[in-house]
Amino acid sequence: MGTGSCLHAGSCPCLGLPSFRGHKTLIDNTWYQRPPGVPQHIAAGGVVARRAGAQVLIALAREKHGADYVLPKGHVEDGEQLEAAARREIMEETGLQDLQLLESLGSAERLDFSRKAWKITHYFLYLTAETDGVPTDAAHHSGVWWFALHALPQLFWPEQQALLADNIARIEAAVLRAA
Give the type of residue at 41.
H
Task: Measure CA of the first residue to CA of the last residue in the chain; give whole Å.
Answer: 37
Ordered per-residue pLDDT tens for the chain, 179 residues:
222 333 333 333 444 444 444 545 678 999 999 999 999 999 999 999 999 999 999 999 987 777 789 999 999 999 999 999 999 999 999 999 999 999 999 999 999 989 999 999 999 999 999 999 988 887 777 789 999 999 999 999 999 999 999 999 999 999 999 97
Which domains are seen in the chain, by residue range? 39-178 (3.90.79.10)
* pLDDT for 69: 93
* pLDDT for 25: 61
CA atoms within 13 A on the CB side of 166: 11
* pLDDT for 65: 73
Ramachandran class of 2: left when φ > 0, alpha when ψ lies in -120 to 50, beta otherwise? left
Find the helix packing angle between 168-178 and 158-166, rounded to 10°. 60
